[in-house]
Amino acid sequence: MAWFKRTQKGIQTATEDKKDVPKGLWYKSPTGKIVDAEQLEKNFYVSPEDGYHVRIGSKEYFEILFDDNKFKELDKNLTSKDPLKFEDKKKYTDRLKDAQEKTNLKDAVRTAVGKSNGNDLVIACMDFSFIGGSMGSVVGEKIARAADHALKNKIPFMIISKSGGARMMEAALSLMQLAKTSAKLAQLADAGIPYISLCTDPTTGGTTASFAMLGDINIAEPGALIGFAGPRVVRDTTGKELPEGFQTAEFLKEHGFLDFITPRQNLKEKINLYLNLILNRPLASNYVTS
């Protein structure tokens, strides 16, 4: 027997009156787990079902790391030029404009200074949504200026890498950023100012070949893809099958390229514990055991 009966037949709803489920209420992880979007956000964008770390950008990382999400953004209006007049399927200037409109970002990195657990910290965070997090002149310049700010004010520096590599539209100019950023990090080292590198998914190409692997401590999120060339390119070049888990954060840690892997929920606590220890600062009460 039916649970209910229609009292009126032939009911139709006009298209404009139909209610669709709003987009973004649910998230499906690569392993097929379905997670409520609000729950995902409250869990630092980590799937509670399988621990999968969803790709996020500078907005979310700043929310996680800076106290009360309060910070001062550095060089926020710096934008790329097109000295090479580069054009592939579209002009580089048009590609930049499209990326800026789509992401509401000026380029593939944002830099800021603020308090993290009550202590000053300079952070440069890359955004993969802006032309694949590619490293061009602006990325290198903003990281260099952020390092200068850390150097001048004797503040620890952190870079969060999320990049497909150097930006091909700027050719050699983008490759120059590898040396430029590395030189600035050397200045921090000479001054005894800590530099933390966090590798997230993905960290590849020139980013890996420069600042992403030059930290006083190199850390990563679980499952992050980290390498110079992608697994397919390495396989085709060497003609050999790659070991299981090749270029994952776990594989790199096992082979000595990373110091530790930390879930995003513990990130703020872990980096501040490290800074407190290396700078001989008092430990927070929750770190002290009897």
* pLDDT digits 0-9 by tens, 248-281: 999 999 999 999 999 999 999 999 999 999 999 9
Residue with tokens 């990382």: 61
Question: Percent of the chain, pLDDT > 90?
Answer: 77
pLDDT for the residue 30: 80
pLDDT for the residue 18: 46
- For the cut 70, the answer to whether the pLDDT of residue 69 exceeds it is yes
> If pLDDT is split at 50, 70 and 90, which confidence band does 184 have?
very high
Mean pLDDT along residues 154-173: 96
> If pLDDT is split at 50, 70 and 90, which confidence band does 33 have?
confident
pLDDT for the residue 32: 82
Query: CA–CA separation, 176 vs 136, rounded Å?
Result: 9
Query: CA–CA separation, 213 vs 202, rounded Å?
Result: 14
pLDDT for the residue 128: 97
Long-range contacts from 96-102, C-beta under 8 angstroms, 24+ separation: 96/131, 99/130, 99/131, 100/130, 102/129
- For the cut 50, the answer to whether the pLDDT of residue 21 exceeds it is no
Are 234 and 243 in contact, with CB atoms under 8 Å apart? no
Mean pLDDT along residues 209-216: 96
Are 195 and 215 in contact, with CB atoms under 8 Å apart? yes
Rg (CA), the chain: 22
pLDDT for the residue 14: 52
Total-model pTM: 0.88
> If pLDDT is split at 50, 70 and 90, which confidence band does 124 have?
very high
- For the cut 60, the answer to whether the pLDDT of residue 17 exceeds it is no
pLDDT for the residue 288: 47
* Residue with the larger pLDDT of the pair 32 and 63: 63
pLDDT for the residue 283: 82
Which amino acid makes up residue 135?
M
pLDDT for the residue 290: 39
